[in-house]
Structure 1
Amino acid sequence: MAYSEGARAMATATTKPKRKRRYTEQDLLQRPSDGRKYELVNGRIQAVPTGGRHGQIGFRLASRISQFVTEQYEGFDSSTGFRMVGGNIRSPDLALMNRSRLPQGQAPVDFIDGAPDLAVEIVSPSENPKDLLQKVGEYFESGAREVWLLFPERKQVYRYTAPLEVQVLHEDDVLTGGDLLPHFQVRVGELFE
């Protein structure tokens, strides 16, 4: 069967791929609350896996850390968005930021510029390792001093003090707060009990 030039041009015109929309910070801010956690990554709004166990571990760690936070730091939960150097908006499960890095020492109404000094992520089994490493890199590139990845399934904590410097802590090891939280320490297993 022969196609005319017009039919061939029409077939070509109708098969052009649609351009994907790039979402903005404003789109993320205006997103209706549905109880889920979202981040803006490379112009896409992505749901971040959470759940009951996830929240329990986050609360447990936050309650322990709060006892050691000095007046110098402000604490944030997963509803806070941090503006990374490349434009992504990340929402760690738990974060500490030096007040001197906040405008007038106060958290702004919308997103916070830069990564927190400490970013804590509770890792879901469905999260991609490549994406996690990208996130760790973004945190450090944007000003983080430490990043902790908590793996509930393995009962492990990966404590990053630089993008490629990681200490893997197991259930019976002790997680310390280093220079950020000098007196903080907890046995890793206690976070997952």
Structure 2
Amino acid sequence: MTLSKVSDSNNYLVLQMSPAWEISADSFFDFCQLNSHLRIERTATGKLVIMSPAGSETGNRNFKLIQQLANWSDRDGSGIGFDSSAGFILPNGATRSPDASWIKLTRWNALSAEQKTKFAPICPDFVVELRSPSDNLKMLQDKMQEYIDNGASLGWLIDRTTRQVYIYSPDSEVKSLDNPQTISGDPVLSGFVLDLAKIW
């Protein structure tokens, strides 16, 4: 097992586990529950990425983001939303926890009750990552592309430091918006408009 730092801020640590130690999906879930004070993800190659909790201000902005998504999701009724504590096993084997996400009910309901209680083996239809000041931008951009490559229909990377929003979707170039006041989720999230005044 090797340990390496992957950002200058010391907010990310990577543990190289494989091939010395192969950890099952169930064991990884249990490991994350035992260390619930940390955010832990697993890459497609089996590396464990350990992150410290977000700062309080970023946590508040993420709360405002989730509040808007949840309000829309309740009104729309076609899907189910998740906060940053939810983990998902992507088709490539990675286990990721977006800051906010949403899945169509038809896809969510196709999972078994047992699959829903742990890290569900599904890529969300919609994902959001909210960059905190100490986050590595390239790492977040790679993660956003990974979501799209694994089945997400729409992804937003919101960079509060530069007031930029990167929009990811399949079969199209990443779009960058400078200091937008709102973002529309159409057509994936029909009628959802995020008010960024609450986020900036």
- Tell me which residue corresponds to 1:79: 85
CA distance in 1: counterparts of 2:77 and 2:149, whole angstroms: 25
Deviation for aligned residue 1:79: 1.2
Instruction: Give the conservation status (yes or no) of the 8 Å contact 1:119–1:146.
Output: yes
Q: After the TM superposition, which residues 62-77 of structure 1 pair with which residues of structure 2 at under 5 Å, given as runs?
A: 62-69=66-73, 70-77=76-83
> Residue type of the partner of 2:83?
D
Aligned residues: 175
Deviation for aligned residue 1:20: 4.3
Highest Rg: 1 or 2? 1
- Tell me which residue corresponds to 1:153: 161
Question: Unmatched 5+ residue regions in structure 1?
Answer: 1-18
| TM-score normalised per structure 2 | 0.76
- Tell me which residue corresponds to 2:12: none
Instruction: Give the conservation status (yes or no) of the 8 Å contact 2:131–2:137.
Output: no
- Tell me which residue corresponds to 2:108: 102
Instruction: Give the conservation status (yes or no) of the 8 Å contact 1:137–1:163.
Output: no
| TM-score normalised per structure 1 | 0.78
CA distance in 1: counterparts of 2:133 and 2:171, whole angstroms: 22
State which of 61, 73, 88 in structure 2 corresponds to 1:57: 61
CA distance in 2: counterparts of 1:127 and 1:100, whole angstroms: 34
Deviation for aligned residue 1:191: 1.2
SS at match of 1:67: helix
CA distance in 1: counterparts of 2:175 and 2:83, whole angstroms: 24
- Tell me which residue corresponds to 2:125: 117
CA distance in 2: counterparts of 1:62 and 1:190, whole angstroms: 11
- Tell me which residue corresponds to 2:48: 45
Percent of matched pairs sharing the same residue: 27
- Tell me which residue corresponds to 1:36: 38
CA distance in 1: counterparts of 2:171 and 2:88, whole angstroms: 18
SS at match of 2:116: coil
CA distance in 2: counterparts of 1:143 and 1:71, whole angstroms: 21
SS at match of 1:55: helix
CA distance in 1: counterparts of 2:108 and 2:190, whole angstroms: 22
- Tell me which residue corresponds to 1:171: 179
CA distance in 2: counterparts of 1:185 and 1:93, whole angstroms: 17
> Residue type of the partner of 1:57?
R
- Tell me which residue corresponds to 1:4: none
